[in-house]
Structure 1
Amino acid sequence: MEINLILKIAAVGVMVSVICQILKHSGRDEHAFFVSLAGMLLVLFWLLPYISQLFETIQKMFGL
């Protein structure tokens, strides 16, 4: 895994947590939930190729 990807994931995590705290303190809990959901989905889409590669490697290892 590239260090670039790890830094991007960390940056998204920090930004999402700050935005969620601001939204929660202003009484917009629903918006905070959607921001955290969007951040999680963004990171998941970034990790999807690596997860796919992991499953392919496991299948090759066990000969499935």
Structure 2
Amino acid sequence: MNVSVDLIFKIAGIGIVVTVLNQVLIRSGRDDQAMMTTLAGIIVVLFMIIKMISELFATVKTMFQLY
């Protein structure tokens, strides 16, 4: 249970940082860099989620003794 709460806080932290950077870059007229920052944040979060989904599939595979 503790790992899932940590993951939620990490994703929320990344979201807050990306949002602040996005707003700062948009206000300074750097729209392309703001979009790249948002895209980088999404990719980082997706990699974190993919790792967790991989562990879920491994657990289900072990639980049902699938090979």
What range is the shorter-chain TM-score in? 0.7 to 0.9
1:19 corresponds to: 21
Matched, 1:5 2:1: no
Query: So what's the TM-score if we normalise by structure 2?
Result: 0.75
**SS of match in other structure, 2:29:** coil
Give per-residue Cα distances to partners, 1:11-56, cap 9 Å, x unaligned. Answer: 0000000000000000000000000000000000001022234556
Matches within 5 A, 1:1-64: 2-54=4-56, 57=60
**What is the count of residue pairs matched by the alignment?**
62
> Partners in 1 of 2:9 and 2:48 — Cα distance?
12
Higher relative contact order (CA 8 A, sep 6+): 1
- 1:41, 1:5 → 2: CA distance? 15
TM-score (normalizing by structure 1): 0.79
Q: CA RMSD in A?
A: 2.0
Q: Report the CA distance between 1:3 and its aligned residue.
A: 0.4
How much has 1:2 moved relative to structure 2? 1.2
Identity rate, percent: 42
